[in-house]
Amino acid sequence: MNILTYDIEDWFHMLDIECTATEAHWRNFKPRIHANVDRLLELTLLHGHRATFFCLGWVGKHYPEIIRRIDELGFEVASHSHMHQLVYQQTRHQFREDLRRSICTLEDITGKKVKTYRAPGFSFIRGNTWIVEALLENGIERDSSIFPIERGHGGYKSFGRARPSLLGCASGQIKEFPIGVGNVLGKKLVFSGGGYFRLMPFWVIQKLTNQTDYVMTYFHPRDFDVDQPVLNIPFYRRFKSYIGLKGAYKKLDLWLAGNRFIDIEAADKLVNWTKAPVVMMQSCSGRFE
C-alpha cells in the first residue's frame, strides 16, 4: 500500500535550529503556509488521491481556515502536536498537555474526532514509552511517529521491518504506521519524503516504490516552495533543507500521477491487525523490549 501524508507546518517550523526554536522566534517570520498548502491540496485532488494531513494545533489556532478547508475537501485531519517540539525533549506532562491542546484545537475547528498522530521530527524513540499511554488516553488510535532507521533526531533503528505494527502497553495497543524504507546499494534509506525525495532522481524513487509493498510518505509544504527565505544555518542543515526544491513539485506530480495512494484511515481498514507484529513494553514506564 502507498500512503500519502502531509505535515502541515510553515517554512520556519524547523527543529534543532536556534533561530526557529520557539513561538517567539516564529513571530519574526512572514507566513507562507496558505499558498503552499493550497498547492498540495490542488495536486492531490487533481490525481484523485486521499491523504492524511498531520496539522499543528498552532496552525489551527492562527489559521483555522486552513484546517477547515482540508476537512471540507474530505481529507483526514490528524495531529502533528501543538507547538512542534521534539517529544524526547519534553516531560511526560508537557507532552500530554501539548497533545491535548492540539487535539482540542483541531476538533473545535472540524467537529470531528482526531484519531491519528505524528510526532515532530519522528521523535518517538526508544525510552519514550509513556507516549503510547498518553496517546491512548486522548483517543488516538493510529500513530506514524517511528522512523525505523537512524536519523538526525534519533530514529528507532531496532524497530525492525517497516510495516504496520501494534505498539502495546498495559493499558492497550495503538496501531503504528512507521515510515517506509528502501534499499540503495545495500544501504537502507527513506526515499518517500524530506531531503532524499528532493535529492533523488524520479526514476530511482519510482523503482524503490515498485520494489516495496509499503510506502509511507511525509511531505511538508516547504518541500515544494522554491521562493521561501533561506535561513542562516550551518551548511549541512542548509543542504538538507533546501536541496532539490526546484524540481520537487514536478517530481511529486509525476509520482502521484503514476501510483495509487490512500490515507492512513483507509490503510487501517486494509491491514489484518490480528497478524500484525506486536511491540510490547516491559511496563507503562519501561522501555520497549
Q: Structural domain tally of the chain?
A: 1
Spatial CA neighbour of 126 closest among 111, 110, 148: 148
Q: Domain span at residue 26?
A: 2-280
- At residue 235, the pLDDT reads 81
- Residue 93's contacts (CB-CB under 8 Å, 6 or more residues apart) are none
pLDDT at 282 over 60: no
More confident residue, 122 or 265: 265
Q: Is residue 285 part of a domain?
A: no
For 88, residues 6+ apart whose C-beta sits below 8 A from its C-beta are 123, 125, 127, 128, 154
In this prediction, residue 41 carries a pLDDT of: 98
Residue 20 has a pLDDT of 84
Distance CA 238, CA 231 (A): 8
Residue 182's beta-bridge partner residues? 189
User: What was the pLDDT predicted at 280?
Assistant: 66
pLDDT at 289: 34
> Which pLDDT value is given to residue 54?
98
Does the structure show a pLDDT above 60 at 166? Answer: yes
CA–CA gap between residue 204 and residue 208 (Å, rounded): 6
The reported pLDDT for the residue numbered 110 is: 98
Nine-digit cell at 99?
497533545
Residues whose CB falls within 8 Å of the CB of residue 119, separated by 6 or more in sequence, listed in order: 80, 81, 86, 87, 131, 145
The mean predicted confidence, pLDDT, of the chain is 89
Q: What is the CATH number of the domain that holds 180?
A: 3.20.20.370
91 pLDDT more than 60: yes
Please indicate, yes or no, if residue 286 is contained in any of the structural domains: no
Distances (CA, A) of 114 to 15, 39, 76: 24, 24, 9
CA distances from 104 to 75, 159, 226 (A): 18, 31, 33
Is 35 within the bounds of a domain?
A: yes
Average pLDDT over residues 192-198: 91
User: What secondary structure letter does DSSP report for 153?
Assistant: T
Asked whether residue 154 carries a pLDDT value surpassing 70, the answer given is no
pLDDT tens readout for residues 29-63: 999 999 999 999 999 999 999 999 999 999 999 99
Q: Answer whether residue 288 is part of any domain.
A: no
> Of 180 and 9, which is predicted with more confidence?
9
Q: Is the pLDDT of residue 281 over 60?
A: no
Res. 142: pLDDT tops 90: yes
Weakest-pLDDT range from 91-95, 169-173, 223-227, 265-269: 169-173
Q: Looking at the domain assignment, is residue 289 inside a domain?
A: no
Residue 149, pLDDT above cutoff 90: no
Do 122 and 86 contact (CB within 8 A), yes or no?
Answer: no
Please report which confidence band the pLDDT of residue 148 belongs to, taking 50, 70 and 90 as the band edges. confident
Domain assignment present for 287: no
- Is pTM beyond 0.85 here? yes
- pLDDT of the residue at 152: 67
